[in-house]
Amino acid sequence: MGAGNLRAKPRSISITSGKGGTGKTTLTANLGVALGSLGKKVIILDGDLAMANLGIVMGLTKCETNFFDVLSGKADVGEALYTNYGIKVLPCGFRFEDVHDVLSKVKRERVEEVINELLKQTEFLLIDAAAGIADATIISIAAAREMLPVCNPTYTSLVDCYKTVRLANVLGSWTRGLVVNRTGKKADLSLDEVEQFMGRTLGAMPVLADIPEDPKVQEAERECVPVVVYEPECSASIAINELAKVIVGERDLPYVPYEERAVKETTSRLVRALTGRRA
């Protein structure tokens, strides 16, 4: 497959959760690395504009240039992309007080440039979305053609997950299934119960992967190393690598991942979400 073909089919996926604490950012980072290990070009965008911590999980602790700088026109996309573990990351800074200022002044043309650049450089654009249904979450979902919700195996987490899937439906982002993270505790709902709940509320929403609670994940986080690199054979790493294979193997997408259409439609949704204006 030539480089032109690689660029012709970019997939953009927002990874979301109804509330914080589900392990979404850790999953995003590890899924990105797992996709990279399958030979895919991957860029992860930190869409959690106020609580940016993707860079830390990826071992990128000194990122002087970031997504805010790109949006405000102070830097080019290439200057804010950092490579680690075989994939690229566009992190946010820790200047959370800049969020409103940057977003209120963002120009449509700049957003188009950023998304065009990212999608034309990669096969998979993963967007680590803010938890909940905040402006930043809407931005992240609107920017992606697909959404991958992450929940824990509890009723409260499932209800929050349901809300984000409904939001994605409104924004026109496809959700094929969900990831249940940190499974294995006695009080957990079973995977059958999770699917039954989602079936009753959404019609059908299969579990694409269940990631078991694994002490190696916290060990890896303390070392600022993705667990799929830190301990490839642990139970969490095996499950994440299997999820990557599922995502790569998806063929029946409800849209045509053709370059010009994908870039144009993705950009239009993101511009509307960022600026409140029609693209």
Overall number of domains in the chain: 1
DSSP string, 188-223: SPPHHHHHHHHHHHHS---EEEEEE--HHHHHHHHT
277 inside domain: no
Of 10, 8, 9, 48, nearest to 28 by C-alpha is: 48
Identity of the residue numbered 243: L
- Which range of residues forms the domain containing residue 165? 10-265
Residue with the bigger pLDDT between 264 and 206: it is 206
Asked if 236 contacts 242 with a C-beta cutoff of 8 angstroms, the reply is no
Helix (H) or strand (E) holding 174: none
276 inside domain: no
Averaged confidence pLDDT in the chain = 86
- Among left, alpha and beta (phi > 0; psi -120 to 50; other), residue 6 is alpha
Tell me how many degrees the CA angle 94-98-102 measures, rounded to the nearest 5.
Answer: 125
Give tens-digit pLDDT for 179-197. Answer: 999 999 888 999 999 999 9
Q: Is the dihedral of CA 233, 239, 240, 246 positive or negative?
A: positive
119 inside domain: yes
- Coil/strand/helix, residue 90: strand
Quick check: 7 pLDDT over 50?
Answer: no
For the domain that residue 261 is a member of, what is the CATH number? 3.40.50.300
Phi, psi of 257 (to 5 degrees): -75, 55
Of 109, 103, 54, nearest to 82 by C-alpha is: 54
70 inside domain: yes
Identity of the residue numbered 94: F
Quickly state the pLDDT bin for 10 (edges 50, 70, 90). confident
Give tens-digit pLDDT for 84-103. Answer: 999 999 998 665 556 666 66
Give tens-digit pLDDT for 197-206. Answer: 999 999 889 9
Quickly state the pLDDT bin for 170 (edges 50, 70, 90). confident
279 inside domain: no
Mean pLDDT of 203-220: 95
Percent of the chain predicted with pLDDT > 90: 54
Q: In which order are the strands placed within the sheet that holds 42-47?
A: 82-84, 87-90, 42-47, 124-129, 11-16, 146-151, 178-183, 207-212
278 inside domain: no
* Alpha-carbon gap, residue 266 to 37, rounded angstroms: 26
Helix (H) or strand (E) holding 107: none
Give tens-digit pLDDT for 40-91. Answer: 999 999 987 666 688 889 999 788 898 888 888 889 999 999 999 999 999 9
